[in-house]
Amino acid sequence: MSINDIWTSIYSVIRTMHPVDFVDIALLSYLIYYVFKFIRETRAGPLFKGIVFLLVAYAITKAIELKAITYLLEATFDIGILAIMIIFQPEIRRAVEKLGHTQFGLKNLGFGSSGDGLTAKWETAIDAICDSCVELSATCTGALIVIEQKTKLGEQIENGTIINATPSKELFGNIFYPKTPLHDGAVIMRDGIILAAACFLPKPQKEELINKKLGSRHRAAIGMSENSDALVIVVSEETGQISVAENGNLTRNFTRDKLHHLLTERLIPKQTEGKRRLSSRLRTKGKEDANESDA
């Protein structure tokens, strides 16, 4: 089929469409977008990937006539929808409630910062996080900072207080000061900004196996890292020790340099980091050449 045939087919379809068809397509497109946004913002993301995998497996087993596996997959699909409705009942209810006051606009379409802009934000944020943790550690002030990555933390953000502010040492100090309303709970960061504070985090899956010497902040950090790919930083109010939870594991005794290195490695793409270092070396070399010329 030639390109002219394709264009002719498209034109013939468009010519036969009525205004109500365009409305139908627009509404269907927004519904699909809303479903994908719901999946992205909640724990339904990994489940959706699992469903896609099962559908692909079903298509393959059906094609090559693996009858036993095909039967088991069909039985799974029969109860799957009911199981999803039960498991995600709170999320589905919240999603339906939001339909009544959804705002339209480019902001809701998920357009974020550019790569370079986001890197600059994280460079500033990493310095603020490290400086704050060192100060909070020195005064044994408890702190819990969650850094969102690929898994969106919409559920935890909703139960906190939205701040949407640029991070700084002073702001972290005010949030975690014991006598402030926001100190109890976690700060959640997204795209290099403090998105929310006083957020409550899920409990660990096997809480009984965790060291009993660890307090509620450390347990919450482990639980959050088990349920997502987030990096969770904890400052102990008893010892001032800085710890990081990742993938359900808690690593303790972080210094500022060690914490800075970890956050840079996890949050700033290697290509961008390499470009930044090269640019810095070129600027330094340019200054040295200029000084030699003046001499």
* Domains recognised in the chain with CATH numbers: 3-109 (no CATH), 115-272 (3.40.1700.10)
Give me the half-sphere count of Cα atoms (radius 13 Å) on the Cβ side of residue 153.
32
185-210 core/surface letters (b: 16 or more CB in 10 A; e: else): bbbbbbebbbbbbbbebebbeeeeee
- More confident of the two residues 143 and 270: 143
pLDDT recorded at residue 101: 42
Residue 214 has what pLDDT? 82
Element (H, E) at 49: helix 44-63
**Does the pLDDT of residue 97 top 80, yes or no?**
no
pLDDT at 278 over 70: no
pLDDT digits (tens, 9 = 90+) for 17-37: 778 877 888 888 888 887 776
Q: Could you read off the pLDDT of 194-251 as tens digits, one per residue?
A: 999 999 988 887 665 677 778 888 989 988 988 888 999 999 999 999 999 998 889 9
Q: What is the DSSP string of 127-144?
A: HHHHHHHHHHHHTT--EE
pLDDT band at 54 (very low <50, low <70, confident <90, very high): confident
Question: Is pLDDT above 70 for 59?
Answer: yes
Contact 185, 216 (CB under 8 A): no
Q: Which pLDDT score, from 0 to 100, does residue 124 have?
A: 93
* Pair 58, 70: CB distance under 8 Å: yes
pLDDT at 112 over 80: no
Average pLDDT across the chain, whole number = 79
How many angstroms separate the Cα of 201 from the Cα of each of 154, 158, 198? 12, 11, 10
Residues 69 and 54: beta-carbon distance below 8 Å: no
Residue type for position 169: K
Q: What is the mean pLDDT of residues 101-113?
A: 44
Q: Quick check: 89 pLDDT over 90?
A: no
Tell me the residue type at 21: D
Distance CA 86, CA 146 (A): 28
Average pLDDT over residues 111-116: 54
